[in-house]
Amino acid sequence: MAENGQKKLFEGSVNITIYDIPAGLLHEFGKRVIEPFYKGGISEAIRDLMLKKVEERKHSSVFDAFPWKKDESLLEKVDKLMRRREYEDYTIFKFGSDLAFTEDIDLVFREKYPDGFLVRRIGDEFEALNVEFEEFSSTFKEHGHDPKECDLIICKQHDWKQEYPNEKCPLAVYEVGSYEKQGTFYPKEAC
């Protein structure tokens, strides 16, 4: 209690009632977030997620100090570049920026084929994939890559069916999409 007899806000712990959360979302949150990572239940999970978001905001506030400007000609140049990118670097950049919001998956690069590994943590266990980045999924074949040494093609555009209409893509494919559109996963059987 404060000196004047009133309660201080956020002193100690707080009981919170949250409305308008669909039961399906709560169930999926429990299955995907709480069960694998939090033995203490939903309160521990929410506390950790809140702390994580506060720390992320503290970290990202460093970027607030940059000398940002609203320069229309500069923004037009950026927009043209983002719409015109047609090379593997865009695929890597877009995938990495999407991955930045996923705390349990890491991307590790290497200097030879395949380009890298995706490593996923589930609780105390780890899983990994060999991944190859390409501008187009068909480029995988053009480069002569051995599909036995790779698990997933990550590309800007999945064009295998257009380039090789009489053969199936030998691997699963993740198309990163554009900055306007989310990525799409194509299982090996659907390629």
C-alpha pair distances (Å), 126 with each of 38, 53, 119, 129, 175: 16, 24, 7, 11, 24
Highest mean pLDDT among 22-26, 40-44, 105-109: 105-109
pLDDT exceeds cutoff 60 at 4: no
In angstroms, rounded to a whole number, what is the distance separating the alpha carbons of residues 126 and 121?
5
Taking alpha carbons only, the member of 161, 111, 115, 116 closest to residue 136 is 161
Segments in the chain forming alpha helices (H): 23-29, 35-37, 42-64, 72-84, 88-99, 139-142, 160-163
Task: Give pLDDT tens digits for 117-130.
Answer: 999 888 788 999 99
Average pLDDT, the chain: 82
pLDDT exceeds cutoff 70 at 167: yes
Task: Give pLDDT tens digits for 55-103.
Answer: 777 766 666 777 888 888 888 887 776 665 556 888 888 888 888 777 7
Highest mean pLDDT among 24-28, 165-169, 181-185: 165-169
Give the global pTM.
Answer: 0.62
